[in-house]
C-alpha cells in the first residue's frame, strides 16, 4: 500500500474542514429560514367589549386584512371573551357579516369561561364557531406562536 504524503493528508483535512464548515452554515441557515417561515402573516383579533361599533370595526378590519394580504397569505383568528362574547350570540346584530368573514376563512374562538359565567350553551351561539377553555390563554398562545395581536 502506498503511503500518503504529508501534503495529501493535509489536503484531506482541509476538504473535511470545508465540508464541516458548509454543514455549520447550512444548519444555521436552515434555522434562519425556519424563523422566516414562521413569519407568514398571522393575526389574532381580540373582542372583549360589548360595543356593537367595535364589532363592526373588527369585522371591517378582518375583511380588509384578508383583502389586502390575500386569503392564502394570512391566518386570521378572532377571540371573543368577557362582554365581547355577545357579538357571537345567536341574536347578534352583526350575524350576517360574521357569516361573511367565516366564509373568507377567518376562525372564531369563544371563551368557555365566559360562557359558564353567563350560563350560555353552544345552542345560544352562532354556528361554525370554535371554543377554547380561556380566551385570554388563547390570545397568549397565539402571540407565542408568532401571531400579531390587534385589539380594535
Q: Which residues touch 14 (CB under 8 Å, ≥6 apart)?
A: none
**Counts of helices then strands in the chain (DSSP H, E):** 5, 5
To its own copies, the closest distance from the beta carbon of 19 in angstroms equals 7
Quick check: 104 binds its own copies (CB under 8 A)?
A: no
Quick check: 107 binds its own copies (CB under 8 A)?
A: no
Query: Residue 30 and residue 23: Cα distance in Å, rounded?
Result: 10
Quick check: 149 binds its own copies (CB under 8 A)?
A: yes
With CB under 8 A as the contact rule, the residue among 33, 52, 60, 118 that binds its own copies is 60
Q: Position of cell 397568549?
A: 140
Nearer to its own copies, 40 or 122 (CB): 40
With CB under 8 A as the contact rule, the residue among 6, 37, 72, 121 that binds its own copies is 6
Neighbour order of strands in the sheet with 130-132: 130-132, 107-111, 74-80, 41-47, 148-150
Quick check: 140 binds its own copies (CB under 8 A)?
A: yes
CB 125 within 8 A of CB 90: yes
Question: What pairing do the DSSP bridges indicate for beta strands 107-111 and 130-132?
Answer: parallel
To its own copies, the closest distance from the beta carbon of 100 in angstroms equals 17
Select from 77-85, 92-100, 102-110, 120-128 the region that touches its own copies (CB under 8 A).
77-85
Nearer to its own copies, 38 or 128 (CB): 38
Nearer to its own copies, 7 or 91 (CB): 7
Quick check: 119 binds its own copies (CB under 8 A)?
A: no
To its own copies, the closest distance from the beta carbon of 149 in angstroms equals 6
Query: Residue 104 and residue 62: Cα distance in Å, rounded?
Result: 9
Amino acid at each position: 500500500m502506498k503511503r500518503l504524503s504529508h501534503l495529501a493528508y493535509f489536503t484531506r483535512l482541509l476538504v473535511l474542514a470545508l465540508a464541516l464548515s458548509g454543514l455549520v452554515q447550512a444548519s444555521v441557515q436552515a434555522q434562519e429560514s425556519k424563523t422566516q417561515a414562521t413569519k407568514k402573516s398571522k393575526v389574532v383579533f381580540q373582542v372583549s367589549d360589548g360595543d356593537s361599533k367595535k364589532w363592526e370595526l373588527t369585522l371591517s378590519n378582518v375583511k380588509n386584512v384578508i383583502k389586502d394580504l390575500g386569503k392564502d397569505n394570512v391566518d386570521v383568528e378572532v377571540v371573543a371573551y368577557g362582554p365581547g362574547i355577545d357579538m357571537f350570540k345567536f341574536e347578534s346584530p352583526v350575524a350576517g357579516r360574521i357569516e361573511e368573514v367565516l366564509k373568507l376563512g377567518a376562525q372564531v374562538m369563544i371563551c368557555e369561561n365566559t360562557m359558564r359565567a353567563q350560563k350560555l350553551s353552544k345552542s345560544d351561539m352562532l354556528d361554525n364557531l370554535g371554543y377554547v377553555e380561556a380566551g385570554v390563554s388563547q390570545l397568549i398562545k397565539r402571540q407565542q406562536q408568532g401571531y400579531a395581536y390587534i385589539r380594535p
